[in-house]
Homo-oligomer: A and B are copies of this chain.
Amino acid sequence: MTGAPADSRALRVAVLGSGVVGSQVVRLLGEQADDLAARVGAPLEIVGIAVRDVTAPREAAVEPRLLTSDASALVRRADIVVELMGGIEPAKTLILEAIDAGASIVTANKALLAQHGPEIYEAAEAAGVDVYFEAAVAGAIPLVRPLRESLAGDRVERVLGIVNGTTNYVLDQMTMHGLAFDAAVAQAQALGFAEADPSADVEGFDAAAKAAILASLAFHTRVPLAAVAREGITGITADDVTSATASGHVIKLLAILERTDGGVQARVHPALVSNDHPLAGVHGAFNAVFVEAQAAGELMFYGRGAGGTPTASAVLGDIVSVARHRVHGGQGPTESTYAELPIATPDSAVTRYQVRLRVADRLGVLAQVAGVVARHGVSLEAVRQGRVASDGIAELIITTHQAREADLAATVLELSGLEPVHTVDSVLRVEGS
């Protein structure tokens, strides 16, 4: 049996899941109990921790008497339900049951919010309870409160985020130590920064879910996960990294959210970032989110985007907020969708590009390439000739001004069929300028 609160003023907290984050949340709720009670105005008492297998070995902080496999019963006798199981089901059903029973919700579940957020927010608003989710995006970094509260009087124009620590670690290792992609992934796996199957990270799925959540917050518009254009980093080679370094850039996997004439643009892809840009200095598994707002100008938020303890910090901050509302009254911001901006199609994105080609090293090739580019309405910023290999093949690096994705794609298609062009080695967007 799980316990009932000993102190009648205590707020009953149910924790769903006892993995890397859940066990740290339980530990900190115990260790910081006095501080938390002072900040909330009432003690917090864990009334149960729902797990799949109550007999599995656990961290010392997780008291066996609190474990239960009946999550559905647990959420109905809690004031605050902290969902840290991840995945869509049973998390979604349990959260809706908890809301139905009048509990406030704290969750770190980005996949669930990106796919079913609106349904959950609507249920919470109807029931008059809070849904807080600071930990769902960029781990410990305060980002949800700044976007939905601090910038509530401003107009966000653009968000550029490094929101996946695994891919940032991999790209950083490739940049700093010249590792190949596979070697960098293997190292990330050895250090616990990447899963055995790294595809959710390296293919950009994790970043895309966070992008959908951030876009919805930034633009007061529902941005479904399906609207986020997504491209991972599996195509990035050591040559791409070397070439980026040579041109004063680093390659980062970015979540890019923009307010454009055509509506909200949301995309995740690797991009060249100038060494001068604050995001270029974000190393290892750190995350950072760069925000451009009309009045505030440029802002950046930096910190640990993953890990049990950092993520637990964000979860605890949310627990304090929703607990204070239960003690002192009031409610946090609800979903804001009034702007209802259209969602722009991915191919309407306008950005700068860098294209690396290998071409025959002979007179007139550069003019020929420049002619193709111009014919597609793409404006050249620079053409730089790189190394000439012993076989008479030269590297040509083209940087464009802002161009439409469709025009660039047509340009690349024609270039790759051009007689003196041997290969198109890479096409990368240049962001942050």
Contact = CB atoms under 8 A, between A and B. Distances in A.
A333 B151 CA distance: 18
Contacts of A145: 142, 145-146, 149-150
Contact of A297 (B140, B142, B153, B317): B140
B152 A321 contact: yes
Given A142-B145, A281-B278, A330-B329, A303 B297 contact: yes
A304 B309 contact: no
Interface string A275-318: 00010010000000000011111111111100101101111111
21 contacts: A24-B295, A28-B295, A38-B336, A38-B338, A140-B297, A142-B146, A142-B299, A146-B146, A150-B317, A152-B316, A152-B321, A153-B318, A154-B317, A281-B281, A296-B303, A297-B309, A297-B310, A298-B302, A299-B302, A300-B302, A328-B331
A122 interface: no
B317 A140 contact: no
A299 B295 contact: no
A293 B313 contact: yes
Interface residues on A, range: 35 or more
Given A278-B281, A301-B301, 19 more contacts: A32-B155, A35-B155, A38-B336, A134-B150, A140-B293, A142-B145, A142-B301, A145-B146, A149-B321, A152-B317, A153-B316, A153-B319, A153-B320, A295-B313, A298-B303, A300-B302, A325-B330, A328-B331, A330-B331
A317 B333 CA distance: 13
A388 to B, nearest CB: 36
Interface of A: 24, 28, 32, 35-36, 38-39, 134, 140-142, 145-146, 149-155, 220, 278, 281, 293-304, 307, 309-310, 312-321, 324-325, 328-331, 333, 336, 338-339
Contacts of A319: 153
A291 to B, nearest CB: 8
B331 A154 contact: no
Contacts of A336: 38-39
Contact of A298 (B38, B299, B304): B304
A142 B153 contact: no
A198 to B, nearest CB: 23
Contact of A278 (B302, B318, B328): B302
B313 A296 contact: yes
Contact of A320 (B152, B295, B330): B152
